[in-house]
């Protein structure tokens, strides 16, 4: 056995793992049948030891469809496999945090697996490791490609308003992992054309870049970003540059109707440098220093009926600190259907502080601050809660008051009654103080109150409660979608308006049912929602039934 070469040793990993670990109908271990819905809980890597090296990396790339299975062996799926350009091996290897000859570190294997699953052109990924007779490590990387060249065609109706997209999108250009799209977009507030090019690994390096340009009927927008990110938990440094400019006409809503509009121009430029340091246990601390320039300009137009915000300019150096706890587990049937999800049970804490002096910005002196924290925790072997908190705003020296202070707290609770059914509760509260006239906190069909029109209520405070019975049926519709469903009850209220208008601030309620479609061969990071919702004792100006067709990234 010890005379076998590295490739042959790598083949000792059971073939069933290669065929099914990233497949649409994987063979599951008995340990995967648990109500916490954790996957691979029994998977272990060889123990690390001084001198152990990774001596071979073997790639096992699965195509979009498995035509060895009778149900997928048809002319259409064979055609798709034949003309699909598979991801280049060097692209996959550029994502890995280790190379042949590196010292063996099982944490780098686990994190590399997560990074691969995070790529938009892959449905799933697994990394296996075995020890050869010399005590070195043979690694096998298993991935399954997605079909990435797609027409960007969609139609959504939410709260009585229509949106549509017509164009194309390629998220793995020629197999090199680049993303390119050109789309005509018709939204509630504007319509126009959008071009996007995103390169997550420039020349197979760790540098990434993104370019966006939009030409809309109310203005234009550009976005340029080039950065060397914290691509791994132990990446020692990061730096980048961002330029953003957007000119548009913004509406003010009340009871789902536009009651005023104004023109807004926003220009943002930012440069930064960050340093990372590993702390005790699984914690990492990152410190970032940068300079940011923001300019917000407002103008009245023909449809302006309410006061508009005053122009704002901020130019400020800032310091940002992040504390990140790496405590990932693999799960299924939380935010997606069937697909492997990476859930972090650790904390992610961010704090930023900046100072915009009058001499720099030629505007009033401001202190800039933001703070966010989120985590998740299993409360039992079949229940999980998530917590999110963020606050941001400015302190205006001239008024000696906060400005655009917005704080939001969200609690989510999952109670898994079986492998395929859950109760889900989402409770959130948003608090705003001294908001300028360009900022609204809204509640309606697009923000969780599904029985009401888009942005039906507005104010500087809001509260929302969603209760859902979720069904993760995992039925494979046409071998293209995994199917789920939900029955839901929503109740919420937006109130304490800072605008000079009379508005409905009553508590609103609705019930409804919906289908969930999770693509399993393309665009696996989205979820199609088809919902029917009915208001409970709703106002006379709201339809008795609302139907919503929306595309989100979660169940």
CA nearest 27: which of 36, 15, 37, 38? Answer: 15
Q: CA-based diameter of the chain, in Å?
A: 83
How buried is 101 (Cβ within 10 angstroms: 0-12 exposed, 13-18 middle, 19+ buried)?
A: exposed
**Helices marked H in 96-189 — which ranges?**
106-117
Specify the pLDDT at position 153. Answer: 64
CA distances from 477 to 121, 310, 336, 502, 551 (A): 21, 53, 15, 48, 18
CA angle 47, 48, 52 (to 5 degrees): 120
Give the total residue count for the chain: 555
If you count DSSP H runs as helices and E runs as strands, how many of each does the chain have, helices first? 6, 28
Residue 551, pLDDT score: 82
Q: What are the residue ranges spanned by the domains of the chain?
A: 6-145, 149-320+334-552
- 489 contacts 509 by C-beta, under 8 angstroms: yes
Percent residues over pLDDT 90 in the chain = 71
Q: Where are the alpha helices (DSSP H) in 189-274?
A: none
Q: Highest mean pLDDT: which of 36-50, 153-167, 390-404, 491-505?
A: 390-404
Residue 1 clears pLDDT 70, i.e. is over it: no
**Architecture per CATH, 6-145:** Roll (3.10)
Q: Is the separation of the CB atoms in 201 and 231 below 8 Å?
A: no
pLDDT of residue 550: 81
The C-alpha atoms of residue 43 and residue 28 are separated, in whole angstroms, by 12
Q: Pick the range with the lowest mean pLDDT from 24-38, 46-60, 224-238, 298-312.
A: 24-38
CA distance 276 to 265: 35
On whether the 149-320+334-552 domain is CATH 3.30.56.10, my answer is: no
Q: How far is CA 485 from CA 341, 480, 482, 549, in A?
A: 19, 17, 11, 14
Give the pTM: 0.89
Contact yes or no for 138/55 (Cβ under 8 A): yes
82 CB-near residues (< 8 Å, 6+ apart): none
Residues 6+ apart with CB under 8 A from 274: 230, 237, 238, 239, 286, 287, 288, 289, 320
- What is the mean pLDDT of the segment spanning 56-75? 93
- The pLDDT score that the predictor gives to residue 10 is 44
Q: The tokens 């063996």 sit on which residue?
A: 104
174 burial level (CB within 10 Å; 0-12, 13-18, 19+): exposed
Mean pLDDT (the chain) is: 90
Q: pLDDT band at residue 445, thresholds of 50, 70 and 90?
A: confident
CA distance linking residue 25 with residue 479, whole number of Å: 10
The per-residue pLDDT for 279 is 85
Q: How many angstroms separate the Cα of 522 from the Cα of each of 114, 197, 198, 199, 300?
A: 19, 19, 18, 19, 44
C-beta atoms surrounding 75 within 10 Å:
7
Predicted confidence band at 157 (pLDDT cuts at 50, 70, 90)? Answer: low
pLDDT at 523 over 70: yes
Query: What is the rounded CA–CA span in Å between residue 290 and residue 267?
Result: 17
381-394 average pLDDT score: 97
- CB neighbours of residue 73 within 10 Å: 12
**Tokens at residue 423, please?**
């109760």
Q: Please compute the mean of the pLDDT values over residues 300-329 and round it to a whole number.
A: 95
- What pLDDT is stored for residue 52 in this prediction? 93
Residue range 110-134: average pLDDT?
94
The residue to which tokens 């006239």 are assigned: 437
Q: What is the pLDDT of residue 366?
A: 97
- Asked whether residue 163 carries a pLDDT value surpassing 70, the answer given is no
Q: What is the pLDDT of residue 375?
A: 98
Residue 256 has pLDDT above 70, yes or no: yes
- The bridge status of strand 283-300 relative to strand 122-131 is unpaired
Domains 6-145 and 149-320+334-552 share a fold: no
Q: Is the confidence at residue 459, as pLDDT, over 50?
A: yes
Q: Which of 165-174, 284-293, 473-482 has the lowest mean pLDDT?
A: 165-174
Read out DSSP for 1-65? -TTS-HHHHHTTS-HHHHHHTTSTTPPPPGGG--TT-BSSTT--PPPP-TT-BEEEEEEEEE-SS
Give the pLDDT of residue 218: 75
CA angle, residues 513, 519, 525, in degrees to nearest 5: 95
Q: Could you tell me the two tokens for 197?
A: 């090019």
């Amino acid at each position: 056995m010890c005379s076998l070469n590295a490739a042959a040793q790598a083949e000792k990993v059971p073939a069933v793992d290669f065929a099914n670990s990233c497949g649409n109908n994987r063979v599951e271990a008995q340990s995967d049948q648990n109500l916490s819905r954790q996957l691979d809980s029994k998977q272990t890597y060889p123990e690390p030891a001084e001198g152990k090296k990774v001596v071979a990396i073997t790639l096992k790339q699965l195509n979009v469809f498995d035509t060895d299975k009778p149900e997928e062996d048809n002319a259409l799926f064979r055609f798709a496999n034949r003309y699909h350009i598979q991801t280049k091996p060097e692209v996959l290897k550029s994502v890995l945090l280790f190379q042949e000859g590196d010292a063996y570190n099982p944490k780098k294997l686990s994190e590399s697996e997560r990074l691969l699953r995070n790529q938009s052109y892959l449905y799933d990924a697994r990394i296996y490791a075995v020890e050869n007779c010399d005590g070195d490590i043979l690694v096998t990387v298993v991935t399954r490609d997605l079909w990435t060249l797609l027409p960007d065609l969609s139609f959504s109706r939410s709260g009585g308003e229509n949106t549509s997209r017509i164009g194309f999108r390629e998220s793995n250009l020629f197999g090199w992992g680049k993303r390119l799209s050109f789309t005509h977009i018709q939204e509630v507030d504007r319509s126009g054309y959008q071009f996007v090019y995103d390169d997550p690994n420039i020349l197979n390096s760790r540098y990434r870049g993104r370019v966006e340009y939009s030409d809309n009927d109310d203005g234009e927008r550009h976005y340029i970003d080039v950065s060397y990110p914290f691509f791994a938990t132990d990446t020692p440094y990061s730096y980048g540059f961002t330029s953003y400019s957007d000119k548009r006409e913004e509406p003010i809503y009340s009871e789902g109707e536009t009651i005023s509009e104004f023109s807004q121009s926003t220009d943002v430029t930012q440069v930064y440098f960050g340093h990372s340091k590993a702390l005790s246990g699984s914690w990492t601390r990152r410190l970032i220093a940068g300079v940011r320039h923001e300019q917000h300009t407002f103008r009245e137009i023909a449809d302006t009926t309410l006061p508009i915000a005053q122009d704002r300019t901020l130019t400020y150096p800032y310091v940002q600190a992040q504390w990140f706890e790496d405590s990932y587990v693999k799960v299924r049937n939380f935010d997606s259907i069937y697909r492997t999800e990476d859930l972090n049970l650790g904390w992610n804490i961010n704090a930023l502080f900046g100072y915009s002096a009058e001499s720099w910005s030629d505007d009033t002196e401001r202190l800039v601050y933001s703070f966010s924290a989120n985590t998740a925790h299993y409360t039992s072997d079949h229940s999980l809660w998530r917590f999110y908190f963020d606050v941001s705003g400015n302190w205006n020296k001239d008024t000696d008051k906060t400005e655009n202070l917005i704080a939001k707290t969200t609690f989510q609770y999952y109670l898994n009654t079986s492998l395929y059914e859950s109760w889900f509760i989402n409770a959130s509260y948003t608090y705003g103080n001294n908001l300028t006239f360009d900022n609204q906190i809204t509640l309606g069909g697009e923000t969780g109150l599904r029985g009401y029109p888009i942005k039906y209520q507005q104010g500087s405070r809001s509260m929302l409660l969603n209760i859902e019975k979720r069904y993760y049926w995992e039925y494979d519709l046409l071998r293209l979608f995994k199917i789920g469903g939900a029955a839901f009850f929503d109740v919420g209220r937006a109130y304490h308006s800072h605008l000079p208008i009379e508005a409905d601030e009553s508590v609103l309620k609705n019930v409804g049912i919906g289908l969930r479609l999770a693509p399993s061969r393309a665009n696996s990071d989205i979820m199609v929602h088809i919902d029917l919702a009915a208001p409970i004792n709703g106002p006379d100006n709201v339809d008795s039934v609302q139907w919503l067709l929306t595309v989100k990234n979660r169940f």
